[in-house]
Every structure is written in structure tokens, then in C-alpha cells.
């Protein structure tokens, strides 16, 4: 039995950026994560959509090898998000959020889903995240993403959740807000003390920080000339990162394994932002992914023995 279970949002996004716009395009944290992680392991999505969810999206996911048996269909409309990115691509302005069927989301896992060795709890209500986790039959690796929407109102629930999490992936603003620490390094250290042995602080176009075994490892973003749409960058990053980690669960916390995983997360996000919605991830090949990961390491490395 292998595979990654992801629970998160499945959405129709309307996004405007300086490079163009989309109207009700496929989106949502569980979707971006799945399309990224599928390169490394079978992925099972747990989520909810409305009766209006286009068949073509479901079909695309299935064609990419994603298991959508856990994608409930409820009467009503699919979750919708509308947002806008200005010249500062690092910050989205939310124009509207319609939870719709997402409000009634109450995931019940099947036996197959419960048995997944790896689970990724994407950006949903921390109480729901804990609920899903409680149904699991002892996963070997629990990772979870940011919960910006809930930091203000549900900090105790978040802390409870984190005590059962191995890997936390979080934005820098959220890391600082959660911990009230002024620097990313201190925020990562503090979050790690709440539970997760590994913390990744995402900084958007500025890269990320990996905190593991008491040490910090900084990573730059893969440099991109044309950013079209940053939507889903964090979730595709998480998909590449957790996906790669899942390929060697017996040594998942080794620093060298985590660093390679971080390279995959980084280049996955760089692909994702090069086109709107999931367009680029839909067609991305493992070969193109490996090639860019290799380029990324070449950029960073120098011959040893000289410094």
C-alpha cells in the first residue's frame, strides 16, 4: 500500500493578473497539490464539489492518474474564489470567496483512504484537518499546509493539530503571525517546538527556508522571467515537496532527502506560475521536472574543496 491522501479545497477560480485573467478556472489547494504530487506517488483526493463542477476537470484529474473517488458531489454550487494580483505578485487581493458546498464539507474516509501512509492536510479549517487525521489508520507521515484564514480565530485548534504533524509548510506572514516572532528563523524554530520536526517557511518569489534538526537551510526561488499567475504556487510547491519525500519514507527526515524534496517543490512552483490556473501542471512531464531540478542544483552548487 502506498500513496498520498490529500484533503483540501477544489475550486473554480477567477483570477486577474497583469498578464491576463481567468474566469471560473480549475483551482483549489487539493487540485494543485495532486497535480504536483502525482509525479512521485499515487494521489487520492478528498474534497467536495457542487453539482455544477465541470466533468472535464474531473476527467483531466483522472487522466493524470489522480484518484477522485473521495471527491464528493453535493447539491449546490462549487466553492468559488476570485482574486487579483498586482505588480507585487507575492500578495493576492481576495475579491470574493463563495464557500458554497465547501461549508458543508464533512469528509468521511474510505478504508483505502484511511490506509494511506502519507497524508497532506491542505488549507482548510484546522478542526476538519484534525477530524481527517483522526480517521487515518496510523499514517507514517503527516504534513499540513498554512491556515491563514483561521489563524485569527482558531489558534488553539491549530496548536492542537500541530502536535500531531511531522511537516508544516507555512507562509512567512502566517509563521510570524502565529508565533509573534519577528524573524522567519525564530518563527520556524518556535513552530517546530509546537510539534512538527520539519518546518518549511514559504516566501513566494523569494524562495523558502527549511528548518530541520535544529538547523535552517535557505533556498532561493527558481528564477522566472515571466510570471503569469501565482495562484496555487504554494500548493504545487507542497505537492512537489511532499511527493518527493514520500518516495523514501524510511529516510524521509534525512536532511539530504529533505533538500532534494525542497528542490522539487521549488521547481514545481516555478512551472506552475508560468501559466494560468493548472494549465502548465496539466501537461508537465517528469522529464521536464527532473531537468529543471538538475538545473536548479547546478545554479546553487560550487565545486567543493575550495571554500
Residue 299 as a binder of a second copy (CB under 8 A): the answer is yes
CB distance 6 to 33 below 8 Å: yes
Distance in angstroms (rounded) separating the CA atoms of residues 290 and 303: 21
Distance in angstroms (rounded) separating the CA atoms of residues 84 and 76: 25
Nearer to a second copy, 115 or 216 (CB): 216
Which three cell numbers, joined as nine digits, stand for 255? 536532511
Q: Which of 167, 165, 183, 164 is nearest to 175 (CA)?
A: 183
Q: Binding mask 270-289 vs a second copy (x if CB under 8 A, - otherwise)?
A: --------------------
Q: Residue 112 class from Cβ within 10 Å (0-12 exposed, 13-18 middle, 19+ buried)? A: middle
Residue 104 as a binder of a second copy (CB under 8 A): the answer is no
Q: Binding mask 174-213 vs a second copy (x if CB under 8 A, - otherwise)?
A: --------xxxxx----------------x--xx-x----
Nearer to a second copy, 88 or 111 (CB): 88
Tell me the closest approach of the beta carbon of residue 87 to a second copy, in angstroms: 6
Q: Tell me if residue 74 falls in helix, strand or coil.
A: strand
Residue 225 as a binder of a second copy (CB under 8 A): the answer is yes
Distance in angstroms (rounded) separating the CA atoms of residues 22 and 244: 30
Sole binder of a second copy in the list 60, 151, 216, 249 (CB under 8 A): 216
Tell me the closest approach of the beta carbon of residue 27 to a second copy, in angstroms: 24
Beta carbons within 10 angstroms of residue 110's beta carbon: 12
Sole binder of a second copy in the list 16, 114, 259, 279 (CB under 8 A): 259
Residue 301 as a binder of a second copy (CB under 8 A): the answer is yes
DSSP 203-221: -GGG-EEEEETTEEEEEPP
Nearer to a second copy, 69 or 288 (CB): 288
Residue 224 as a binder of a second copy (CB under 8 A): the answer is yes
Q: Is beta strand 118-121 parallel, antiparallel or unpaired with respect to 141-144?
A: parallel
Binding site for a second copy (CB under 8 A): 18, 87, 182-186, 203, 206-207, 209, 216-227, 256, 259-260, 263, 290, 293-294, 297, 299-304, 306-307
Amino acid at each position: 500500500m502506498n500513496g498520498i491522501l490529500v484533503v483540501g479545497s477544489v475550486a473554480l477560480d477567477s483570477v486577474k493578473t497583469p498578464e491576463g485573467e481567468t474566469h471560473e478556472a480549475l483551482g483549489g489547494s487539493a487540485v494543485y497539490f495532486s497535480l504536483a504530487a502525482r509525479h512521485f506517488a499515487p494521489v487520492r483526493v478528498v474534497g467536495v464539489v457542487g453539482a455544477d463542477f465541470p466533468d472535464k476537470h474531473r476527467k483531466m484529474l483522472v487522466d493524470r492518474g489522480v484518484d477522485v473517488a473521495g471527491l464528493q458531489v453535493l447539491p449546490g454550487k462549487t466553492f468559488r474564489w476570485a482574486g487579483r494580483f498586482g505588480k507585487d505578485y507575492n500578495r493576492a487581493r481576495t475579491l470574493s470567496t463563495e464557500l458554497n458546498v465547501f461549508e458543508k464539507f464533512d469528509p468521511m474516509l474510505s478504508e483505502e483512504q484511511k490506509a494511506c501512509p502519507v497524508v497532506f492536510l491542505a488549507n482548510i479549517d484546522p478542526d476538519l484537518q484534525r477530524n481527517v487525521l483522526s480517521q487515518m489508520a496510523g499514517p507514517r507521515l503527516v504534513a499540513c499546509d498554512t491556515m491563514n484564514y483561521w489563524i485569527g480565530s482558531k489558534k488553539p485548534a491549530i496548536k492542537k493539530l500541530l502536535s500531531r504533524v511531522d511537516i508544516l509548510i507555512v507562509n512567512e506572514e502566517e509563521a510570524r503571525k502565529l508565533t509573534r516572532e519577528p524573524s522567519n528563523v525564530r518563527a520556524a524554530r518556535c513552530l517546530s517546538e509546537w510539534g512538527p520536526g520539519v518546518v518549511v517557511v514559504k516566501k513566494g518569489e523569494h524562495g523558502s527556508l527549511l528548518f530541520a534538526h535544529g538547523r535552517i537551510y535557505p533556498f532561493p526561488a527558481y528564477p522566472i522571467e515571466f510570471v503569469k499567475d501565482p495562484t496555487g504556487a504554494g500548493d504545487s510547491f507542497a505537492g512537489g515537496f511532499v511527493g518527493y519525500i514520500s518516495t523514501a519514507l524510511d529516510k524521509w527526515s534525512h536532511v539530504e532527502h529533505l533538500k532534494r524534496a525542497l528542490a522539487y517543490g521549488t521547481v514545481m512552483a516555478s512551472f506552475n506560475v508560468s501559466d494560468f490556473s493548472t494549465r502548465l501542471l496539466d501537461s508537465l512531464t517528469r522529464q521536464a521536472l527532473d531537468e529543471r531540478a538538475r538545473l536548479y542544483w547546478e545554479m546553487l552548487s560550487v565545486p567543493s574543496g575550495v571554500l
